[in-house]
Structure 1
Amino acid sequence: MMGPVLAACLLIILSTAWISQANEALCKKDGGVCSCNNNKNSVDCSSKRLTAIPINIPTDTENLKLDYNKLSSLSATAFHRLSSLTYLSLFNNQLQALPEGVFDQLVNLNKLYLQENKLTSLPPGIFDKLTKLTELYLWGNKLQSLPHGVFDKLTQLKELWLGANQLQSLPSGVFDKLTELKTLTLNSNQLRSVPKEAFNSLEKLTWIQLQSNPWDCSCNDILYLSKWIREKQGNVSNIEAANCDQSSKAVLEITEKDAASDCVSPNTTTAIPIGTMTPASVIYDDIHEIKVPQENFQKFLGYQEPDHLPTQPQCLMSISGYLGLMMSLMLTSAAILYVFHFLKKA
């Protein structure tokens, strides 16, 4: 009976070697797609021209960088094995939509970077499982609206970046649950007003961007924003930067006499032609108080230019890694046949 026992042990050893080989193929320096830091459970797949996410990312990965690739879509299960992730970077890709449930398994995620993609909308509930999220970056997309309650579960969120999109209005109560929020950017959108009491829950807010929106100061809907800015002066940085669309007058200077007209719903107002909008790169270069300047963003994320790029970066493993895997599979198959042989004899 010792034969089957030895064969079973051999099978376990070979299986372990196969898994190790798979991870090595993902991260091997001499031709592997990504680089890994096993001590920090970190996988860096930045700037590899990827059109799909590698399938053999280790399940204990905590830090995953997929920025500066060519991802145009994600499968709904793309991250379902990666529940240990605390940091996920997908910025500067070509994502046009997010499938429902794509982030549902990332219950430990703290930081999510989705900026500089081509997102035009967000599915309802897309962030509902990310209850530990503290930073969410969505600027530089093409978002035209936000679903009702899209941020309601993000009660630990401290930074929300929505600038340089195409938002024409905000849903009522969209920020009501964000009581821990300290940073909010809404600059360079198409907002003409905000709902009454939109910012009332943001007691911990210390920095906001409202500039480069066509604020309609002839409409009495602007009076809430004007009053809120005056009350928060000195406590919230950059708050005075919002100017009226019709003049250079600051929103905080608007009185009831100035804004006497009844308002038209923001959803029915004429949108600013997209072609006249200032490019996001120009807008962000002109911001003096931004905490993470665009030119230093790569450094901020720990990004380094790779020494070389593979000739076929979509491949998940090098040729040597593939041959190693095939050898492991052959040995594993032999071990299985060996076990069955002895069991049959017994």
Structure 2
Amino acid sequence: MPLCHARAPRGLWGRKRKALCKLTPCDNCPGWADCNGKSLLHAPSSLPSNITDLDLSFNSLVVPRHGTLLMDFPSLRSLNLSSNALLVLSPAVFSNLGALRLLDLSSCSIAYLHTDAFKGLGNLHTLLLRNNSLQELEVPFFLPLKALLYLDLQHNALVSVDTLSLQLMEAVPQVRLEGNPWVCDCSARSLQQWLQRRQAVQVTCASPPELRGSAVAALDSQDLGCWMKQRFPRGVSTAQQITVTLSNTTTPPAGKGGRSWPYLVGFLVAAIGISILIALAAKCKLFHKNFASYRHRPLPETSSIGGSPMEDSSSWDRDSSGQGASKNHPMPDAGHLQAEDDDGFIEDNYIQPSEQLPEEEERELHLSI
């Protein structure tokens, strides 16, 4: 391999290659250009468009708000932009560098990464973001980096990482998280488990003060102040479970305990409301039932031939007092009255006309006798 293409440590880039290659505005050999410390605002237009390695570190590059940073170098495989005041990377600023394998953004004072900052870098293997001011990592930041093998996030301002971002970083074989001011409370439980799986004991806590300098992976749920659910065999009594739970847990941090009471109050209010509704429904049903029963009235009693008992009694009183009685019509005996009463309960609809006439003649015959 020619010396111009040999991969040398960063400190040797300015000495060996300056001695071996032709001096230009940027020291370059075929396929490679070193523009380190040239106070450049933009990449030189005199560089060949087919170069694969470009060093633009320690300059004053201006990142465009729209569009790409290096439109004229689509063949780049290695790009060094370290020690430039980039601050914020605009969306899709590297989208034309589909062949890029290594991107160095160390010491660029980056405080925010747009969710589409690395759009188009599907072949990127190494991403260096150490010595910046990143405070959080958003999930879409990782989505375009399908082939990432090494991620360096050392010495930023990260205090926590959400669970979904940690899941996406599971696909990256090497991740460096040392030197960040990690807060070791219950929210760091996911980070702790992730570090334990990777055996990364160098990541240490910055707060709270009693855990400062402790390895995050070496802590447990008690140190983080988390309440953990425990499973007990079926034969263990409730009193023993409470004793074990109290002995294995600590008091939760101030401001983070006692959050279950709103759920209890809500449950009680819902239960009382449902009970009241059921009682009202039952009472309304009972009211309608009683109201319907009060509307029913007993049917009036009918006399033997259709008249009312009051009319029969009044007419009988008149006959007995002598106002309509005659010697030719004596008082009928009790047997005849019983027969009339019994006959009176038979409905007229069930007596045929032919049968009704002999009965009337027979009644007159009895009266005459």
Q: TM-score, with normalisation over the residues of structure 2?
A: 0.50
1:167 equivalent among 131, 149, 158? 158
Contact 2:201 2:217 survives alignment (8 Å): no
On the 8 A contact 2:178/2:203 being kept in 1, the answer is no
In the aligned structure 1, how far is the partner of 2:89 from the partner of 2:80?
Answer: 14
Which of the residues 61, 76, 79 maps onto 2:51? 61
Whole-Å separation in 2 of the counterparts to 1:50 and 1:101 = 22
Check whether the contact 1:244–1:251 (CA below 8 A) recurs between aligned residues.
no
Query: Is structure 2 residue 220 aligned with structure 1 residue 255?
Result: yes
Aligned-pair CA distance for 1:56: 3.4
- Per-residue CA deviation, residues 254-286 of structure 1 (Å, 9 max, x unaligned), is 333332436989xxxxxxxxxxxxxxxxxxxxx
Local SS of the residue matching 1:36: strand
Q: Give the match's secondary structure for 1:174.
A: helix
1:264-309 Cα offsets, whole Å, 9 max, x none, are: 89xxxxxxxxxxxxxxxxxxxxxxxxxxxxxxxxxxxxxxxxxxxx
Matched, 1:78 2:69: yes
Structure 2 residues not aligned, in runs of 5+: 1-20, 227-251, 257-369
Quick check: which one's helix share is greater?
2
- State the partner residue of 2:129: 138
- Report the Cα offset of residue 173 of structure 1: 1.7
Identity of aligned residues (%): 25
What is aligned with 2:25? 33
TM-score (norm 1): 0.53
**What whole-Å deviation, never above 9, does each CA across 1:26-70 have from its counterpart, x for those lacking one?**
xx956x3112211xx111111212122223332211111101222
Report 1:89-128 matches (<5 A).
89-128=80-119
CA–CA distance in structure 2, aligned partners of residues 118 and 240 of structure 1: 24
Code of the residue aligned with 1:157 in structure 2: it is: L
- SS of 1:221's equivalent in the other structure is helix
Alignment of 1:254-273 (within 5 A): 254-258=219-223, 259-260=225-226, 261=252
- Look up the match of 1:154: 145
Amino acid at match of 1:48: K
Task: Give aligned pairs, total.
Answer: 206
The alpha-carbon distance between structure 1 residues 250 and 167, as it changes in their structure 2 partners (threshold 3 A), is closer
Partner-residue secondary structure (3-state), 1:149: helix
User: What are the superposed Cα offsets for residues 297-330 of structure 1, whole Å, 9 maximum, x if unpaired?
Assistant: xxxxxxxxxxxxxxxxxxxxxxxxxxxxxxxxxx
Kindly provide the amino acid, as one letter, of the partner of residue 126 in structure 1: A
Q: Which amino acid in structure 2 is aligned with residue 115 of structure 1?
A: S
Distance of aligned partners of 1:228 and 1:82 in 2 relative to their CA distance in 1, 3 Å threshold: closer
Q: Bigger relative contact order, structure 1 or 2, given CA contacts below 8 A and separation 6+?
A: 1
Q: CA deviation at 1:176?
A: 3.2
Deviating above 6 A after TM superposition, structure 1's stretches of 4 or more consecutive aligned residues are 262-265
Q: Distance in 2 between matches of 1:33 and 1:74?
A: 22
